Chain A
Amino acid sequence: MRFVTVRNIVVAALLIFLALVPIYSTMSGNMFLMTLFTRIVILAIAAVSLNLIMGFGGMVSFGHAAYLGIGGYVFGSMATEGITSGFIQWPLALAVCALFALITGALSLRTRGVYFIMITLAFAQMIYYVAVSLDKYGGDDGLTIYTRSQFAGLIDLSNRVVFYYVCFASLLGAIYLVWRIVNSRFGMVIQGARSNDRRMQSIGFPTYRYRLTCFVIAGMMCGLAGVLLANQADFISPATMHWTRSGDLIVMAVLGGMGSVIGPVLGAVALLVLEETLPHIISVIGGALTGQSMAAAREYWALVLGPMLLLVVLFARGGIDGILTGRHRG
C-alpha cells in the first residue's frame, strides 16, 4: 500500500491547514475565518459519525441532526439551570443521546432501506416538536446560553483559540475512533451486515445487536458535536434539528465520499466553504463576464450549489474522496 498518493497529500494538507487556522487568524486578525472553521470542524464530527452508520453500516439515518439538538439542549438547559460544569454537562448529554439512540435504534433497525430512512426521520421530527414545545427553554425561538461549559479552570472554552483546538481534537478523536471501529472485528461484522445481513446471521452473528451498538456510538459522537455547536453559538434552537439539517449532514457525507473514514471531513469542508465563498465567486466571475457590478447576484449562490450537487451525483460517484483516489463507488 502506497502512502504518498494524491489523496493522502490532500488529506494531510487539509489537516495541517485545519491545525493552523487559529494561528493564521490571530496573526492576521481575521476572526471570521476561525469562527467559520470552528463550525466546519464541529459539523465534520457530526458527518464523520453519520458516516459510521451510513457508509460502513448501510444504515441511512435521515434524523441524525436530532443528536445535534439533543446534545445542545441538554447542555443549554443545564446551563440555564445553573449547572455549568462541563464534567457533568458533557457526559449527561452523551448519555441522553445514547438513550435516545438506543430506543429509536431498537425500533428503527427492525425496518430496512427506505423505511429505515423514514422512521429515523420520524423520530427526529418527534424530538424536534418536543423542542418547539419547551416553553421554559425558549420554545420555537430557541435558547440563549450565557455560560459556556466550565472545566474547573483547566480549559477555558470562552477563549476562541482554546475552543477551536478542543473541537479540532474532538474531530481527530472521532476520526481515530471510527477508523479503529471500522478496522476492528466489530467493524467487519457491521460492514458484513451491510453487504449481506442474512449471510452474517447464518454464520452466527447477532447482527441486530451489532448494528444497534454501532447506531448508539454514532449517536453519542454526534451528541458531542451538538454540545460543541451549542457552546460555539451560545445558542440552541429547534432549527438545529430541522430535517433539512439532517439532509445537510447526508450531503456532507455523500459529497465527501462514504467509502472512507476521512471522506465526510472533506465533504463538510467543501460544502460549508462553498456556501461561504460562492457568493464572492459568483459576483467576481459575473462582474468579469458582464463588466458590471454583480453584487446583486451574490444572494443567489444556491442557484449554483444545487446543480453542483446534482453533477457530483451524476458524474463523480464516490464523492470527492472517490475523485482523489480515482476509485468510484458502484
Chain B
Amino acid sequence: MLLFIEQCLNGIQLGLLLFLLAAGLTLVFGIMDLVNLAHGSLYMLGAYFAATFTALTGTFIGGIFLALIATLLVGMAVEVIALRRLYGRDHLDHVLGTFGLILFSNEMVRLIWGPAGLRVALPDWLLRPVEFIPGVFYPSYRLLIIAVALAVAGLLYFMVMRTRIGMLIRAGASNREMISALGINIKLLYTFVFGIGAALAGLAGMMQAPILTVQIGMGENILILAFVVIIIGGIGSIRGAFVAAILVGLIDTVGRSFLPEILKLFLSNQAASTAAPALSSMLIYIVMAAVLVLRPQGLFPAAGK
C-alpha cells in the first residue's frame, strides 16, 4: 500500500511535468496550428540553462529564475526568426522545418556545453525526505515539483480563462482574421504565446535537471510523450492536456511498477517477466490508440474548432 501511494505520487509528478510540456505544445498547436517538434529542444535548453545559471549564481532558485527568462527569450527569438514564417503552411512543412531546428539546437548545445552530460546539484533543504502522512516519506524535491507545477497550471488556467490576454488568445484561436481586423496585433500575440510555451517547456526541463542527467537529445523521448498527452486530451485544450497528462503519468508509472505482478496472475513467471517491460512501455500508446479509435478528436475537443 505504501508503495502504491508512492508510485501514485511519482505518477502525478511525471504527469504534471508532462503537463508543463504539453500545455505549451497544445497552445501552439491549437492556436497557431503549428506542429512543433522542436518543443523538446526548448525543454533541453531549459535544463542546460538551469545547469549553467545555478553554477553561475550559486543558488538553485536564482538559477531557475534566470533560466526561465532565458528560455522565454530564446523561444520568442526562434518564433520571430523562423517559425513565424511557417504558420498557415502544411503540417508536413512544420515537421520538416522543426526537425531541422532539432538538429540545429542539438548541435548548438554540443558546441556550447560540450558532449558530456551535466549534473545539477540541489540545495540541502530540498534533499531531505518529508513525512507528509505518518509513516510515508517522500523526497521533498519531488513534492516541490508537484507544488510548482500545480501552481503553474492554476496560473495558466487563470490567464487563459480570466484575463484580457487570455481572451485574445482564445479569440485568436477561433478566428485569426477577425481578431486582427479588430485591431489586435496578432503577430505580437503569437510571439507571446510561443514564448510562454517555451518557458513552460523550459521549466519542465529545469525541474527534471536535478533528477536526470542534463544531456543532448533529452527532449526527444519526452516530446513524444507530450504529443501523446495532447492527442489524448484533444488538441488546443488546456483542460484536456491536464487530464491527459495526469492520466499518462499515472498509467506509465503505476503500470511499470505493478504490471509484472498483475501479469503473474495470468501467465507463468517467466512469460510475465518477459512480457511486462514491453507491455508497460507500450501501455500509454495503447491507451492513445484506443482513445483515437473511440474518440478521434481526443477526450476534450477544443471548442470552436
Interface residues of A (CB under 8 A from B): 54, 60, 62, 107, 110-115, 117-119, 121-123, 125-126, 129-130, 132-133, 135, 243-244, 247, 250-251, 254-255, 258, 299-303, 305-310, 312-314, 317, 330
Closest residue of B by beta carbon distance from A303: B107
B86 at the interface (CB under 8 A from A): yes
**Contact A247:B104 (CB < 8 A) given known A107-B293, A122-B285:** no
**Which residues does chain B contribute within 8 Å of A310, judged by CB atoms?**
82, 97, 100-101, 104
B288 at the interface (CB under 8 A from A): yes
Residue of A111, A113, A299, A302 touching B103 (CB-CB under 8 A): A302
Q: How far is the CB of A165 from chain B (nearest CB, A)?
A: 32
B92 at the interface (CB under 8 A from A): yes
Q: How far is the CB of A124 from chain B (nearest CB, A)?
A: 9
A-contact bits for B272-305, CB 8 A (1 contact / 0 none): 0011011001100110110011001110000000
Q: Report Cα–Cα, A110/B289, bound state, in Å.
A: 11
Q: How far is the CB of B38 from chain A (nearest CB, A)?
A: 10
**Contact A317:B93 (CB < 8 A) given known A247-B99, A303-B108:** yes
Contacts A115-B296, A126-B286, A132-B278 supplied; 16 other A-B pairs, CB < 8 Å: A54-B92, A60-B95, A113-B91, A114-B29, A115-B297, A117-B91, A119-B288, A122-B228, A122-B292, A132-B281, A250-B99, A255-B96, A303-B111, A305-B103, A306-B102, A306-B104
Residue of B85, B224, B275, B281 touching A243 (CB-CB under 8 A): B224
B35 at the interface (CB under 8 A from A): yes
**Which residues does chain A contribute within 8 Å of B282, judged by CB atoms?**
125-126, 129-130
**Which residues does chain B contribute within 8 Å of A302, judged by CB atoms?**
103-104, 106-107
Residues of B203-256 at the interface with A, using a CB-CB cut-off of 8 Å, are: 220, 224, 227-228, 231, 235
Cβ A130 vs Cβ B91 within 8 A: no
Q: How far is the CB of A33 from chain B (nearest CB, A)?
A: 25
Q: Which of B89, B93, B285 has the most CB of A within 10 A?
A: B285
Residue of A111, A121, A135, A309 touching B97 (CB-CB under 8 A): A309
**Contact A119:B292 (CB < 8 A) given known A114-B91, A303-B104:** yes
Cβ B100 vs Cβ A308 within 8 A: yes
Residues of B1-19 at the interface with A, using a CB-CB cut-off of 8 Å, are: none
Cβ B288 vs Cβ A122 within 8 A: yes
Closest residue of A by beta carbon distance from B94: A313
Residue of A118, A313, A317 touching B227 (CB-CB under 8 A): A118
Residues of B77-134 at the interface with A, using a CB-CB cut-off of 8 Å, are: 82, 85-86, 89-93, 95-97, 99-108, 110-111
Q: Report Cα–Cα, A235/B103, bound state, in Å.
A: 26
Cβ B296 vs Cβ A110 within 8 A: yes
Question: Would you call the interface of chain A mostly helix, strand, loop, or mixed?
Answer: helix
Cβ A306 vs Cβ B292 within 8 A: no
Q: List 9 A-B contacts (CB under 8 A).
A: A107-B292, A115-B298, A118-B227, A122-B228, A130-B278, A130-B282, A133-B274, A133-B277, A303-B107
Closest residue of A by beta carbon distance from B102: A306
B173 at the interface (CB under 8 A from A): no
Closest residue of B by beta carbon distance from A106: B293
B67 at the interface (CB under 8 A from A): no
**Which residues does chain A contribute within 8 Å of B285, judged by CB atoms?**
122-123, 125-126, 129
Cβ B35 vs Cβ A312 within 8 A: no
Q: Which of B37, B89, B110, B281 has the most CB of A within 10 A?
A: B281
Q: How far is the CB of A156 from chain B (nearest CB, A)?
A: 37
Cβ B101 vs Cβ A60 within 8 A: no
Q: Report Cα–Cα, A126/B105, bound state, in Å.
A: 28
Q: Report Cα–Cα, A303/B87, bound state, in Å.
A: 23
**Contact A250:B101 (CB < 8 A) given known A107-B293, A118-B292:** no
Q: Report Cα–Cα, A305/B97, bound state, in Å.
A: 11
Cβ A254 vs Cβ B296 within 8 A: no
**Which residues does chain A contribute within 8 Å of B106, judged by CB atoms?**
302
**Which residues does chain B contribute within 8 Å of A62, judged by CB atoms?**
95
Cβ A129 vs Cβ B231 within 8 A: no
Q: How far is the CB of B228 from chain A (nearest CB, A)?
A: 7
Closest residue of A by beta carbon distance from B288: A122
Q: Report Cα–Cα, A141/B286, bound state, in Å.
A: 24
Cβ A118 vs Cβ B111 within 8 A: no
Q: Which of A118, A133, A243 has the most CB of B within 10 A?
A: A118
Cβ B289 vs Cβ A122 within 8 A: yes
**Contact A300:B111 (CB < 8 A) given known A121-B224, A133-B274, A330-B90:** yes
Residue of A112, A126, A132, A312 touching B296 (CB-CB under 8 A): A112
**Which residues does chain A contribute within 8 Å of B292, judged by CB atoms?**
107, 110-111, 115, 118-119, 122
**Contact A250:B96 (CB < 8 A) given known A122-B289, A133-B278:** yes
Cβ A313 vs Cβ B97 within 8 A: yes
**Which residues does chain A contribute within 8 Å of B35, judged by CB atoms?**
114, 117
Closest residue of A by beta carbon distance from B90: A330
**Which residues does chain B contribute within 8 Å of A309, judged by CB atoms?**
96-97, 99-100, 103
